[in-house]
């Protein structure tokens, strides 16, 4: 083991809260694992903001290097299927929550958490990252349930954020008529450029309205990363037989709904979890993200920042103000 020193953004907890600061560490700081990665890019996800928020509920122990996405080049490997020099991406499991993550020049992970990239750059892979992988899982869930462009519009909520914007991009690329729901008037041009057929405000349109068990049927299926009253409204307005892929809770963890959409309209609520997705599923989906599910407008979606810009961007994503995918150049 060398004693190579490198820079890491370390979150430490004290009575005053959680402080994120650059530190010089050596390889002994890294956890066990078969694959050491020279990190080129990480990204900014909602979960990364929670990791540096007191009582954010995602980090099991501090200190931790946050950054749930790692994209870089393998610098050491004892795994037969991962070679030094491979371009790789790793995310999910306990990366950035209980194991040091991507906001550092080096990271080390178990081999089964590593995806070797075939055609994407590490910058593009970080641009996809956890949010984009979750978007791909969501779209895949709709298609696996039988959704097709001929069925009619597909709704995407939280459309300007990470999961939402990549979902819009992938769905439009597959030929779906996408209705993008966003609270940001400034994001209309971006969402239209990604291929949204129409952009509407957040749902329900009247935030104080009572959500009826069954509302007017508006969308054939939906990708929701907002949860809360938004998801309840989406369920009540999804057409007969439609599927709603639910992955997030930016609008709240409670789900104030009834069984009516399920038992009277045959609506399916598909739960999406990227964190514990098994290795074979993860690798198969990454191949598709580099293939038929490749977001066509990643360059338009990626906003590149440095480690110095991180605190400001983590605040913005927590406030729901982030647009697209924040990619961190390490
Ligand atoms: N299940 C999984 O495996 C998985 C994986 C990744 C992420 N997630 C979850 O998915 C959610 C989105 O993650 P992300 O990284 O895409 O975050 P993000 O970039 O912040 O996107 C979330 C979007 O939700 C909308 N939003 C924010 N606050 C809202 C509110 N109070 N009410 C309604 N809409 C609101 C905003 O979009 P508009 O302004 O356009 O409306 C925001 O951009 C998070 O809850 C995250 O934890 C889950």
Q: Above 80 in pLDDT, residue 2?
A: no
C-alpha span between 283 and 123 (Å, rounded): 18
If one residue of 48, 129, 163 were mutated to test the ligand 1 pocket, choosing by the most ligand atoms within 8 A of its CB, it would be: 163
CB half-sphere exposure, 105, CA atoms < 13 A: 10
**H/E element holding 39?**
strand 35-44
182 lines ligand 1 (CB under 6 A): yes
Ligand 1 close to Cβ of residue 98 (< 6 A): no
In this structure, are residues 38 and 105 in contact, taking their beta carbons and an 8 Å threshold?
A: yes
The verdict on the CB of residue 97 being under 6 Å from ligand 1 is no
Q: Ligand 1: does its nearest atom lie under 6 Å from the Cβ of 295?
A: no
Torsion of CA 273, 275, 277, 279, to 10 degrees: 160
pTM: 0.96
SS3 (DSSP) at 162: helix
Closest C-alpha to 306, from 40, 62, 71? 40
Provide the pLDDT for residue 320.
87
Q: DSSP per residue over 44-77, as a string?
A: E-HHHHHHTSTT-S--SSSSB---SEEEEEEEEE
For ligand 1, the distance from its centroid to the CA atom of residue 222, given in whole angstroms, is 15
Residue among 166, 223, 225 whose CB has most ligand 1 atoms within 8 A, to mutate: 225
295 pLDDT exceeds 60?
yes
CB 101 within 8 A of CB 120: no
Whether residue 113 has its Cβ less than 6 Å from ligand 1: no
Query: Are 24 and 6 a contacting pair, CB within 8 Å?
Result: yes
Identify the pLDDT of residue 3. Answer: 77
Residue 1 has pLDDT above 70, yes or no: no
- Helix (H) or strand (E) run with residue 235 in it: helix 228-237
Q: Which residues of 151-190 are buried (b: 16+ CB within 10 A; e: fewer)?
A: bbbbbbbbbbbbbbbbbbbbbbbbebbbbbbbbbeebbeb
**What spacing in Å lies between the alpha carbon of 44 and ligand 1's midpoint?**
12
Q: What digits encode the pLDDT tens for the residues 211-254?
A: 999 999 999 999 999 999 999 999 999 999 999 999 999 999 99
The H or E element spanning position 172 is: helix 162-173
pLDDT at 196 > cutoff 70:
yes
Pocket test for ligand 1, best of 131, 159, 188, 250 (most atoms within 8 A of CB): 250
Q: Judge contact between 51 and 20, C-beta under 8 A.
A: no
Rounded to the nearest whole angstrom, what is the distance from the C-alpha of residue 253 to the centroid of ligand 1?
12
Look at residues 96, 92, 142, 146 and name the one whose alpha carbon lies nearest to residue 283.
92
pLDDT of residue 258 exceeding 70: yes
Which band of pLDDT confidence, cut at 50, 70 and 90, is reported for residue 63?
Answer: very high
Average pLDDT over residues 39-55: 95
CA 276 to chain centre: 14
State the first-to-last Cα distance of the chain, in angstroms, to the nearest integer: 23
Whose CA is closest to atom 9 on ligand 1? 248
Cis omega before residue 63 (within 30°)?
yes
Q: Minimal CA–CA distance to 101: which of 56, 53, 48?
A: 48
Residue nearest to atom 21 of ligand 1 (CA): 161
Q: What is the pLDDT of residues 66-113, one digit of tens each?
A: 999 999 999 999 999 999 999 999 999 999 999 999 999 999 999 999
Give the per-residue pLDDT at 37. 98
For residue 244, how far is its CA from the centre of ligand 1 (angstroms)? 16
Q: What is the mean pLDDT of residues 35-58?
A: 95
């Amino acid at each position: 083991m060398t004693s190579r020193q490198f820079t890491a953004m370390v979150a430490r907890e004290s009575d005053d809260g959680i402080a994120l600061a650059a530190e010089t560490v050596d390889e002994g700081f890294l956890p066990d694992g078969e694959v050491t990665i020279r990190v080129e890019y990480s990204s900014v996800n909602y979960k990364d903001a929670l990791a540096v928020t007191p009582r954010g509920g995602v980090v099991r122990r501090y200190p931790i290097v946050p950054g749930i996405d790692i994209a870089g080049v393998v610098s050491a490997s004892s795994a037969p299927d991962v070679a030094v020099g491979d371009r790789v991406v790793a995310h999910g499991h306990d990366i950035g929550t209980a194991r040091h993550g991507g906001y550092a020049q080096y990271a080390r992970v178990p081999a089964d958490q590593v995806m070797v990239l075939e055609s994407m750059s590490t910058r593009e892979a970080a641009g996809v990252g956890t949010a984009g992988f979750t978007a791909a899982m969501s779209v895949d869930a709709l298609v696996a349930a039988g959704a097709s462009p001929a069925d009619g519009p597909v709704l995407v909520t939280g459309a300007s954020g990470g999961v939402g914007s990549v979902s819009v991009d992938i769905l439009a690329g597959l030929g779906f008529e996408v209705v993008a729901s966003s609270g940001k008037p400034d994001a209309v041009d971006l969402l239209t450029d990604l291929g949204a057929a129409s952009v509407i405000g957040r749902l329900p349109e009247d935030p104080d309205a009572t959500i009826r068990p069954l509302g007017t049927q508006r969308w054939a299926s939906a990708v929701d990363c907002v949860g809360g009253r938004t998801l309840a409204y989406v369920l009540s307005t999804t057409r007969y037989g439609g599927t709603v892929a639910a992955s997030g809770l930016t609008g709240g963890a409670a789900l104030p709904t009834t069984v009516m959409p399920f038992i009277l309209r045959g609506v399916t609520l598909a739960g999406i979890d990227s964190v514990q997705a098994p290795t074979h599923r993860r690798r198969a989906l990454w191949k598709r993200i580099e293939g038929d599910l490749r977001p066509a407008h990643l360059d338009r979606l990626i906003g590149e920042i440095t480690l110095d810009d991180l605190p400001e961007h983590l605040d913005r994503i927590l406030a729901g103000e982030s647009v697209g995918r924040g990619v961190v150049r390490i």
